[in-house]
Structure 1
Amino acid sequence: MTLQAKLDAFKADFEAGKPPYNVPPAVIETMHRATAELIASGAADRALKAGDKAPSFQLADASGKVHASADLLAKGPLVVSFYRGVWCPYCNMELQALQDALPSFEALGVSLVAISPQTAANSRKSVTKNALGFPILVDPHNDVAAAFGLRFALPDYLVDLYKALKNDLPAFNGDPSWTLPMPARFVIGQDGTILYAEVNPDYTRRPEPADMLPAIRRAALLPA
């Protein structure tokens, strides 16, 4: 089953209010409204695209080890995945799919990192929950996400919903702002050029890991 098929199956059960979710229709309507408004805002169109230069970054992983993009790119091409947090089931399914694809990436000399605004403790939960063999990097205040054009502020009515659902993002992220990154995936060549970019303001839609392979293979053949 493809990643998107798994996401669609989960979404169908979740939005139908099947146990254990039992989500009221009004909650689903609010989530749909927020997604539709983010799509209509054109925010995804303003994110970095293939051909742009990727911003450099230095971020700590869940254990506190700092990973610098320059060091990663010195070894080979880099795949960067931005996601919302371990509280997001769609993100967890995506991380699992990336883990399944990790051997094919590593065979081509490619490094993989995922970036989230959540705290180190919650990033450790991501690693454990999804049995990951690649680092989860902590992006305080979504600053690196902003450099890639991915950070957005939740509308007030969605903040109210999250509070009602006990999804306290400021506590979860250690950041008073109610911001998130749009889920996104980038392949970066060793010269820092973005060779593949997929940004989707609809968090229930994620590209297949295999979609990156043509760009990864091109990057693997390019000289440093």
Structure 2
Amino acid sequence: MTLQAKLDAFKADFQAGKPPYNVPPSVIATMQRATAELIASGAAARALKAGDRAPAFTLDEPDGRSIASADLLARGSLVISFYRGVWCPYCNMELQSLQEVLPEFRKLGASLVAISPQNGANSRKSVRQNGLAFPILSDPHNTVAAAFGLRFALPDYLVDLYKSLKNDLPAFNGDESWTLPMPGRFVIGQDGTILYAEVNPDYTRRPEPEDMLPVLRRALVAA
């Protein structure tokens, strides 16, 4: 089953209020409203695209060790997945699918990192729960996400909903700003050029990990 098929199946059960979710229709309507408004804002069109230069960054793993994008690119191409956090089931399914394709990435000389605004403790939880063998990097205040054009502020009504659901983003992230990244997937070549970019303001839509493979093959040949 493809990643998107898994996401669609989860979404159908979640929006239908099936156990164990039991989500009221009003909650679904509020989430759909926020997604529709983010789509209408045109924010995704302003994110970095293939052909743009990727911002350099240095971020921390959960153990506090810093990882620089320049060091990763010195080894080969770099695949980056920006995700919302361990609390997001869609993100967790995406991370699991990326893990399945990780051996193929490595055969093509590419590194893979995931970036979220959550703190180190929650990144450790992401690694543990999803059985990941690639780094989870913490992006305080969504600073790197903003450099890629992904950061957005949650509308007040969505903040109120999250609070009512005990989805406390300030506690998850150590940041009071109530911002998130739009989910984004990027492939960066060794010269720092973005070779592939997929950004979707609808967090229930994610590209297939296998979509990266042709790009990585071309990058390997060109290196």
> Does 1:57 find its partner at 2:57?
yes
**Aligned to 2:167, what secondary structure does the other structure show?**
coil
Q: What are the equivalent positions in structure 2 for 1:47-126 lying under 5 Å apart?
A: 47-126=47-126
Partner of 2:199: 199
1:26-41 → structure 2 map (5 Å cutoff): 26-41=26-41
Q: Identity over aligned residues, as a percent? A: 81
SS of residue paired to 2:205 = coil
Which residue is 1:220 aligned to? 220
Q: In the alignment, which residue of structure 2 is the partner of 1:43?
A: 43
TM-score normalized with structure 2 length? 0.99
- 1:215 CA displacement: 1.0
* Whole-angstrom distance in 1 between the partners of 2:204 and 2:113: 20
2-side partners of 1:50 and 1:120: how far apart? 30
**Deviation of the 1:212 alpha carbon:** 1.1
Whichever residue aligns with residue 212 of structure 1, its letter is M
Whichever residue aligns with residue 50 of structure 1, its letter is: A
The Cα of 1:132 is off from its aligned counterpart by 0.1
**Matched AA of 1:163:** K
Tell me, yes or no, if structure 1 residue 21 matches structure 2 residue 21. Answer: yes
1:146 alignment counterpart: 146
Aligned AA (2:160): D
CA distance in 2: counterparts of 1:95 and 1:65, whole angstroms: 21
The farther-off stretch of 58-67 and 43-52 is 58-67
Residue in structure 2 matched with residue 8 of structure 1 by the alignment? 8
- In structure 2, the partner of 1:133 is 133
* Matches of 2:57 and 2:29, distance apart in 1: 37
Aligned partners of 2:56 and 2:203: how far apart in 1? 25
Aligned AA for 1:128? R
Name the SS for the 1:75 alignment partner: coil
Equivalent residue letter for 2:67 = H
Query: d(CA) in 2 for partners of 1:216 and 1:209?
Result: 11
Shift of 1:222: 2.2
Q: Separation in 1 of the partners of 2:104 and 2:164?
A: 42
- The answer as to 2:205 corresponding to 1:180 is no
SS in 1 for 2:59: strand
- Alpha-carbon displacement from aligned partner over 1:30-80 (angstroms, at most 9, x marks no partner): 000000000000000000000000000000011111110000000000000
Q: 2: distance between equivalents of 1:15 and 1:117?
A: 26
Alpha-carbon distance, 1:110 to partner: 0.3
TM-score, normalised to structure 1, is 0.99
Q: CA RMSD in A?
A: 0.5
The number of residue pairs the alignment matches comes to 223
In the alignment, the residues of structure 2 paired with residue 111 and residue 169 of structure 1 have an alpha-carbon distance, to the nearest angstrom, of 28
- What SS class does the counterpart of residue 205 from structure 1 fall into? coil
